Amino acid sequence: MPISSLSLLESATITPSGGTALPFILAGSPVNDAVKAYASGDTDLRTRRSIHFSVKEPKVSATAPNGYTQARAQVYIKIPFSLDNGLVTTHSVRIEFAYDAEATQAEVLEMRKIACQAIIDSDLDEFYNNLSLA
């Protein structure tokens, strides 16, 4: 289905089901407002799946609408992929949330639920699989 007819749900319930748990463990302590975790079952450093988390706290800004910059939370998922020629490349997903400090937890949660749909909704299969903007 094309982007032009995309429909996402407000106040949706997003609940993963099925599959197998993929535990992640921290790779050290947080440094510079960031922390990295990796799949605990992956022993080969070349093919180890990882997730990086980072945050930026709002700061005072005279030019911002409410006097503060937006809060930012980033997640960067890296999944190594073995090519047929034996080389390894990395597939990745980067997610960034930016919101004003005045946003409620419910408003931030709603934004996260809409973002989840933008990643998994079948309406966007052509966008992700074939890079189609139609």
- Residues in Cβ contact with 66 at an 8 Å cutoff, skipping those fewer than 6 apart: 100, 101, 102
Going from N- to C-terminal start, the domains of the chain cover 22-102, 104-134
pLDDT in tens, 100-119: 988 999 999 999 999 999 99
Residue 1 pLDDT:
64
CA distances from residue 85 to 43, 48, 78, 91, 106 in whole angstroms, order as listed:
22, 19, 20, 16, 47
Look-up of token digits 């989840």:
116
Minimal CA–CA distance to 69: which of 41, 101, 32?
Answer: 101
Residue 40 pLDDT:
95
pLDDT in tens, 41-55: 998 888 999 999 999
Q: Which CATH number fits domain 22-102: 1.20.1560.10, 3.30.380.10, 2.60.40.10, 3.40.710.10?
A: 3.30.380.10
pLDDT in tens, 71-87: 999 999 999 999 999 99
Report the percentage of the chain scoring pLDDT > 70. 99
